[in-house]
């Protein structure tokens, strides 16, 4: 995972009213699952670096468990960053327990077209790394979800729908606590 230093306001982007603005400001398309996996709710977030959008992600959650997380990371930089380490697939998989399992070729459908990449299967999670439309895409999740996932370009309308659904979920949680 990348670590940025020095600038105030860096780090995780909290879901909120400005998330659609983060998507609009991202320097390329953002990928999401073509269909929300059944029985899940959508969470989203991202990270800024040096005051610039670095990554955006959408997680599909069932209960407290993430069945799938799709993370789009900017593939090019238009500023001089202050970087301690660079985010890459190998490091992300090591953080999940990768210990020499083979990287296998994989093809994932994105916007109806095949995109090749690499995949690693661990006992409890699988990961996929794609290079797509100038961006880096990392997907992590249950093997059964990764096996069948198809991806597409997310739209501002998608993120508005996700945000409305999450607001309704929060309202239900608050009502249940009353």
The tens digit of pLDDT for each residue in 70-108 reads 999 987 766 666 655 556 777 777 777 777 788 999 999
Q: Which helix (H) or strand (E) holds 172?
A: helix 156-177
CA 167 to chain centre: 20
Q: Which two tokens stand for residue 54?
A: 């670095």
Which range is least confidently modeled, 6-10, 12-16, 133-137?
6-10
* Phi, psi (rounded to 5 degrees) for 166: -70, -40
Half-sphere exposure of 172 (CA within 13 A, CB side): 7
The tens digit of pLDDT for each residue in 101-124 reads 889 999 999 999 999 999 999 888
Distance from the first to the final alpha carbon of the chain: 39
The tens digit of pLDDT for each residue in 11-65 reads 444 445 467 778 888 888 999 999 988 888 888 888 888 777 888 999 999 988 8
Half-sphere exposure of 58 (CA within 13 A, CB side): 29
Round to whole Å and give the CA distance between 95 and 69.
Answer: 15
Q: Which two tokens stand for residue 100?
A: 């020499």
Residue 15 confidence (pLDDT): 47
Domain residue spans of the chain: 3-177
Residue 100 zone, left/alpha/beta (φ > 0; ψ -120 to 50; rest): left
DSSP string, 79-108: S---EEE---HHHHHHHTT-SSPPPEEEEE
Q: Is 79 within 8 Å of 52 (Cβ atoms)?
A: yes
């Amino acid at each position: 995972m990348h670590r940025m230093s020095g600038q105030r306001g860096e780090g995780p982007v909290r879901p909120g009213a400005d998330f659609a603005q983060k998507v609009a400001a991202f320097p390329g398309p953002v990928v999401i699952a073509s269909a929300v996996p059944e029985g899940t709710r959508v969470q989203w977030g991202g990270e800024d670096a040096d005051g610039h959008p670095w990554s955006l992600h959408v997680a599909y959650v069932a209960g407290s468990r993430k069945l799938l997380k799709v993370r789009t990371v900017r593939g090019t930089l238009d500023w001089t960053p202050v970087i301690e380490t660079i985010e890459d697939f190998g490091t992300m998989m090591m953080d999940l327990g990768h210990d020499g399992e083979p990287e296998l070729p994989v093809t994932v459908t994105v916007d109806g077209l095949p995109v090749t990449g690499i995949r690693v299967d661990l006992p409890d999670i699988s990961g996929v790394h794609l290079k797509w439309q100038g961006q880096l895409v990392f997907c992590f999740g249950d093997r059964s979800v990764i096996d069948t996932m198809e991806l597409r370009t997310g739209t501002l309308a998608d993120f508005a729908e996700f945000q409305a659904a999450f607001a309704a979920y929060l309202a239900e949680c608050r009502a249940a606590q009353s």
